[in-house]
Structure 1
Amino acid sequence: MPTSTRRRDTPPPRTGRSESEVLRGFLDYLRASIAAKVDGTPEPQVRAAGTPSGTNLLGLLHHLTHVESSIFLGEDVTDWQATFQAAPADGVADVVARYRETVERADAVLDGCPDLAAPVPRPRPGRPAPSVRWALTHMIEETGRHAGHADILRELIDGRTGR
């Protein structure tokens, strides 16, 4: 059984005057939380299935990279289940860097979207884009859900807790 390494929890953001600032603040908080859970986790534990379904830390971050790309950048994902496994050649640093780069690209798109009711500007012929509000809310839900999974998986690996 891993020894517990308790860290002080980072509280959620308390700033933001506008709805957009609040939504983006919470999304950034969750993005940083899950990236921190994966970053520094040793091989092969980072890929080890922590549940019978095969859920693993590296796969969660790899999946979220694809969700960000799909929602904000218009990437077409044909096999969502496959996004839960990082390629064997991809190390922890590679997946974390790719996630952070995708987040930066998504943020650049969001920076150009002052109207939360407007559709996310993404090239996806034949499929309507969701509103910016829906996209942000969905990413908060999706990232928060998987950040919770990551909390449990990381604690099982080495006892590390907290955000």
Structure 2
Amino acid sequence: MVALVPAEAHGDERGAFLNFIEAQRAAIRRAALGLTEEQAASRPSASTLSLSGLIKHVAEVELNWLRLAQQVRNEKGRTQETWGDGFRLVEGETVPQTVEFWAGVAKETEEFVRSVPSLDDTFPLPPAPWFPKDGQVSIRWMLLHLVQEIGRHAGHADIIRESLDGKDSFTLIAAEAGA
């Protein structure tokens, strides 16, 4: 995987969104490349974020947005009491299992995005002060939001990984490519 999404890789608007989202997903997954479970769970800064927790969080966030767009209940939805568990692996969870779960979410996201009649189709949001005031967003808005959300956390993942062992994203891209 190169650091930039090739211009010819997407084909159309849906493909462009999906490729940019996948590039950000890959950056987060790559940040955990070669780490033990303990290293991935460590918090090398003043922040409470860990790489394994970020992987879990973005997988659950993507699933939440997908379920909102599908207008179905999110079986992995969090309550105020379990909100913190969305940022760390709990008993029995591993990085490979969490990455596999996220791969399933990514596949379902792509199938959904490719199946909707229009990226202009809208869906309602539950009332919350952090959501747009009108309570409706389009599929296009959701995809842009996923690029933003996952990209923000990809930056966090880069910083955490560099804090652990000094490996930056370009070093990890080369390692992933076998260079």
Compute the TM-score of the two structures, normalised by the length of structure 2: 0.74
Structure 1 equivalent of residue 120 of structure 2: 117
C-alpha contact (below 8 Å) 1:117/1:132 kept by paired residues: yes
Structure 2 equivalent of residue 18 of structure 1: 12
Structure 1 equivalent of residue 90 of structure 2: 87
Taking only aligned residues, the RMSD between alpha carbons, in angstroms, comes to: 2.4
Structure 1 equivalent of residue 55 of structure 2: 61
Distance in 2 (CA, whole Å) between partners of 1:43 and 1:35 is 13
The structure-2 alpha-carbon separation of the partners of 1:44 and 1:27, relative to structure 1 and needing over 3 Å to count, comes to same
C-alpha contact (below 8 Å) 1:13/1:26 kept by paired residues: no
Structure that is richer in helix per residue: 2
Tell me which of the two structures has the higher relative contact order, counting C-alpha pairs closer than 8 angstroms and 6 or more residues apart.
Answer: 1
Structure 1, unaligned runs of 5 or more: 1-7
Q: Offset of 1:17 from its aligned partner?
A: 4.4
Distance in 2 (CA, whole Å) between partners of 1:129 and 1:94 is 33
Q: Secondary structure at the match of 2:119?
A: coil
Distance in 1 (CA, whole Å) between partners of 2:11 and 2:105 is 26
Q: Offset of 1:114 from its aligned partner?
A: 4.1
Q: Secondary structure at the match of 1:130?
A: strand
Distance in 1 (CA, whole Å) between partners of 2:24 and 2:14 is 15
Structure 2 equivalent of residue 5 of structure 1: none
Structure 2 equivalent of residue 145 of structure 1: 152
Compute the TM-score of the two structures, normalised by the length of structure 1: 0.81
Structure 2 equivalent of residue 4 of structure 1: none
Q: How many residues align?
A: 153
